[in-house]
Structure 1
Amino acid sequence: MQKYKHILLDREDAAQKLRDVIPMQKLKEEAWNIVAVSKGGLELASFIKGKLKNNLQILFLEAIVAPNNAECEVARVSETEEIVLNEELINAFEIQYDYIYGEAHRKHEEDILSYIYKYRKGKPFPFMQNEVVLLVDEGSETGSKFMTALKTILAQKPKAVYIATPVLPSDVLELLETFVDDIFFLYDIDDYVETALYYENLETMDDEKIEEILSKDLKDNR
């Protein structure tokens, strides 16, 4: 664990290093859609994109936690209401599926729809049929964000899907590799703890920062 502690300075540093492993010329020529799967991932994605004209989006996801443990994520839902379940935890805690689907609907109605109206002025996530998609996040502790995003994107029949993330657990890397065309990463870590540990500075993304990135991207692509 100590070997990788603060291995990255911040999201900008991580992005610059990822640009060395992502085929940036191919990304530009094939007009890949860059899709962040978290708010922190959005800032990282904006640094990866730089001055390129590729479309930058954020796919909104929300965690569903165990009834009596707010720290235990048992499922995740996307803005298109695709759900990925952690069957092992659901069975271990004897959680009813009615609870999972009820919480997924509530999270979508109360949280995700508010994000869509706040940050995207009510516009739905663009359809990715026959498109090339690069999913981006600042790290991946369990793979649930990427798996939920993948379920959402693959249902739209894209041409290809890639993942870019600076750090992720070795077992999550093996899992994700079976679903995507390629994964661009810097470090796969056996004893992964939490994403923040691997950054010296990982600032919380506030509303103003998110709106700034999305509005700048819209302006740059006009």
Structure 2
Amino acid sequence: MFRDREEAGRALGEHLQRRLTGESVVLAIPRGGVIIGEYVAAALGAPLDVIVPRKLGAPGNPELAVGALAVADGEEIALVDDRTVIALGVPSSYLQAEIERQRREIERREAAYREGRTPAKLEGRVAVLVDDGIATGLTARAAARAVSRHSPREVVVAVPVAPPETVREFAAEGLRLETLETPSPFGAVGRFYLDFRQVEDDEVKAVLRRHGNG
């Protein structure tokens, strides 16, 4: 259990100081991940930038994920949960329209958060993808695949809390996941914070202004 994102970010930063070597860049997943990322970047002496994966929502129920999308160099990296798509009978035409809609939202959010700054250089660096926690890890996996297109030395997903089954799934896929706690049963990420208030866009922008993205 963490008091808030600041406490979790400081603890995660200390953990990564011991676990990582080489030049790093921190890529935070907005919005809550940016608060975590600020403290991780400070601990690692690394630049901070954002990556904006998006959930692909089900027809009539956008909170239910049928997949996730990230974008790298203009190329879409979409992960689809085939079992959910089949169970719900989601048509391919809907999926394509949802991918296009979320792509536009990714581009809008990245431009808004960066405020004209260029994306961080990833080639040859350890790319550390940070969020305030993951449940299924679908959006984090999409983000990791997108980041790998930029030739980093290594891609590391780092979160304060994740369920043990997701940790095992990441390992099976060859994805490195660093986490502080793996409680079971899991439920929702917010259960493991005393203060899990919503982070606003203006706060994300303020954090990014304080940290050059290198």
Q: Please, what TM-score do these two structures have when normalized by structure 2?
A: 0.89
* Percent pairwise identity: 20
Q: CA deviation at 1:163?
A: 1.9
Within 5 Å, give how 1:1-222 maps onto structure 2: 7-24=1-18, 26-27=20-21, 30-50=22-42, 53-80=45-72, 81-109=76-104, 111-121=105-115, 125-126=119-120, 128-179=122-173, 182-218=176-212
Q: Which amino acid aligns with 1:70?
A: P
Moved more, 205-214 or 68-77: 68-77
How many Å separate the matches in 1 of 2:57 and 2:159?
Answer: 24
Which range moved further: 176-185 or 95-104?
Answer: 176-185
Aligned residues: 211
Give, as a single letter, the amino acid of the residue that structure 1 aligns with 2:59: P
SS at the partner of 2:8? Answer: helix
Q: State the shift of 1:129 in Å.
A: 3.1
Deviation digits for residues 172-192 of structure 1 (CA, Å, limit 9, x no counterpart): 101112445643211112321
Instruction: Please say which of residues 156-165 and 86-95 is displaced more in the overlay.
Output: 156-165
Q: What is the distance in 1 between the residues matched to 2:177 and 2:65?
A: 24
1:13-40 per-residue CA deviation (whole Å, 9 max, x = no partner) reads: 112222332135845xx22011112310
State the 1:91 CA deviation: 1.0
CA contact (8 A) 1:160 1:181 kept: no
Please list every run of 5 or more consecutive structure 1 residues that lacks an aligned counterpart in the other structure: 1-6
Amino acid at match of 2:80: L
Question: By how many angstroms is 1:202 displaced?
Answer: 1.3
Q: Deviations over 1:71-94 (max 9, x none)?
A: 211011113321111111011111
Q: How far apart are residue 137 of structure 1 and its match?
A: 0.8
Q: What one-letter code is carried by the residue in structure 1 that aligns with 2:157?
A: I
**Separation in 2, partners of 1:65, 1:189:** 27
Give the aligned partner of residue 4 of structure 1.
none
- 2:17, 2:43 within 8 Å by CA — same for their partners in 1? no
SS at match of 1:164: strand
